[in-house]
A and B are shown apart, each in its own frame.
Chain A
Amino acid sequence: MSSPDTPVSGAPPTGAEERDKRRRWWRPELVLALVVLGLGVLVIVGTLDVSAAASQLGIGPRFFPMLVGGSMVVVGVFYVADVLRGGRGDPEESEDVDVDAPADWRSVGLVSGIFLAFTAVLNVVGWIIGSALLFFGLSVVLGAQHKARAAVVGVVLGVLTYLVFVKGLGVTLPAGPLQGVI
């Protein structure tokens, strides 16, 4: 609410302060906390549909979901409150993760997009072509330096997994247009 020309001493410029204030209650983590809370409500509402068998001795199929849903709502409320009060979880550490780096949303979006595209075309193009494309696309998005090598690895991986899992272990994978060729 501070006007741009309010004099500030020793504090960051007002624009940053404004953003800071907004950030204080708005955090991406709030979405996850609200999902937890919302799921709790959803479980309770969804369980109301379940008709309890009256002949059951003890408790029916509604008791435990209600317990879980109720607990989720309580935990969710605490979680939301914690996020609003400025609490934050420590991002998980892992060998390949730079915890201090800003999130690269472009990569996440592209990885997601490629995966969803793969699920859309898998049954049409078959496992070998589909998985080769999936591997190639993902490795390029994640920063593979030699595109040709990524493509070769992808094709080899697709053919090998198909041979091992379909011919060797009897797993069902779509053959696609290569049916009969391999």
Chain B
Amino acid sequence: MESFQLLLDGFAAALTPVNLLYALIGVTLGTLVGVLPGIGPAMTVALLLPITFTVPPASAFIMFAGIYYGGMYGGSTTSILLNTPGESASMITALEGNKMARRGRAAQALATAAIGSFVAGTIATALLVVAAPAVVSFAISFGPEDYFALAVLAFVGVSAVLSRSLVRGLASLGLGLVIGLVGIDQQTGQARLTMGVPQLLDGIDVVIVAVGLFALGEALYVASRLRHSIPEVVPVGRAWMGRSDWGRSWRPWLRGTALGFPFGALPGGGAEIPTFLSYATEKKLARGATREEYGKGAIEGVAGPEAANNASAAGTLVPLLTLGLPTSATAAILLAAFQQYGLQPGPQLFDHNPALVWAMIASLFIGNTMLLVLNLPLAPLWARVLRIPRPYLYAGIIVFAALGVYALNATVVDLLVLFVLGLLGFAMRRFGLPIAPAVIGMILGPMAEIQLRRALAIGAGDITVLVKSPIAAVLLLLAFGALLTPLVRKLAERRQLAPTHIHEE
């Protein structure tokens, strides 16, 4: 129960007025960027990195955690109220949520999403409290070869799972790894891939990469294919739901949480798979009249996936905090934020900075509660945010992207690098290369290299040292397995194509 005591200390730290204010700013900003199409939590945290440099780390991470959780809440509002398909993680919610909204049940859809997110977020954060110390005590014995194998698993997992095409996922990963290589080698001081440009000696800043790939890339992509119809937003009042909705929602919430948390913790698990699995489970479990409702707005189809979505966000924090292993783009940016403060997530973080870690975890509980209060009565406000004319929205996104990047070093050179990366982000979106592997590759790549070199130095150049540890061997085997998943999936799809079609009808 040592961690319980530490958690209480964390609450004491997070409940100071200043930190409560940072949590409130975080969840509000997070909901805002979650609601708005075109920007997400990853880019928002990246943009705030240079600005929060003067803020103490605990406050900064309380705010970042709020943005992360808030983004999940906001995304559901968009997919329920906006009549257009969105990104993959929220698309499942839109399946039933948007149908409910159009049948006049928008308030109930928003309520089950918000309360479900609260329930899932709270349970999953509690699971994080239990799981984190256990993982830490296991990971304390990890050697560099184990960390290298973990990084390889994360690379392959994210690349193989996020894209339907393995080669495109790996290409994205490679682009990120190359960007991460630019600059001075940390161990020998040699300049690598700088092409003689002195500004590149320090490497390409993660802020520029994230803002370029996410914000500018998205804005250029939207410019190329902007929907010119005015976004149709379903009008809604205060979010609430009745007794029968509660009765139909609570089981899907719990099942969604059970699916979301473990998948979030897995490299490449992300939010897409558990939300989809939760939807499929609820649909399969539905009986009688409820079953008929699927496709017309079944509340279970909103409750389950939304809970899974939020639980996966908490799950992502387990490998991030205990192993320093990011499994999503936002987690990768958070890792970069830790590094900016000279902190390295991993077992040592729990040892050396327990106050910071537990304050952050405590703030997740607080932020979750704030989000519930923020989202239920204020639903009409967020609905209005959705009506922002798109030309203003994307012009504003580019202005803030320029602001954040210029603020880094006050040089125009950074803006040009930003533009080049924006073009890359545009091309990646247009041709279906997932962005997350590039971000993870860029941030985790240099760390993977350090661990690899450390492992080989200990082994005095003997390459078999990489598989001598049973943990590393298992992890590398898993990575190899992940490499094969798209192939297996393709084969399975081919075999099941005919039967599933009949089944669906």
Contact = CB atoms under 8 A, between A and B. Distances in A.
Interface of B is mostly: helix
Nearest to A101: B225
Interface string B94-135: 000000000000000000000000000000000000000000
B171 A75 contact: yes
Interface in B208-243: 216, 218-228, 231
Contacts of B461: 57-59
A36 B392 contact: no
B432 A88 contact: yes
Contacts of B422: 115
B175 A99 contact: no
B488 interface: no
B396 A157 contact: yes
Contacts of A82: 165, 167
A119 B221 contact: no
A51 to B, nearest CB: 7
B185 A43 contact: no
B403 A79 contact: no
Interface in A46-66: 46-47, 50-51, 53, 56-61, 63-65
Interface in B384-431: 389-392, 394-396, 398-400, 402-403, 406-407, 410, 412, 415-416, 419, 422-423, 426-431
Interface in A123-166: 123, 127, 131, 134-136, 138-145, 150, 153-154, 157, 161, 165
A39 interface: yes
Contacts of B177: 68, 72
Interface residues of B, number: 87
A39 B175 contact: yes
Contact of B193 (A46, A99, A142): A46
A12 interface: no
Greatest chain A CB density within 10 A among B37, B85, B402 is at: B402
Interface string B429-456: 1111100000000000100110011101
Greatest chain B CB density within 10 A among A119, A134, A153 is at: A119
Given A79-B167, A138-B398, A139-B391, A53 B190 contact: yes
B168 A89 contact: yes
A113 to B, nearest CB: 11
Given A94-B38, A98-B226, A135-B396, A142 B391 contact: yes
B78 interface: yes
Contact of A122 (B188, B415, B427, B460): B415
Contact of A58 (B50, B195, B456): B456
Interface in B461-479: 461
B427 A32 contact: yes
19 contacts: A32-B428, A32-B433, A36-B175, A43-B193, A57-B461, A60-B188, A69-B178, A89-B432, A93-B85, A95-B82, A95-B86, A116-B419, A131-B402, A134-B395, A136-B395, A145-B389, A153-B392, A154-B395, A157-B396
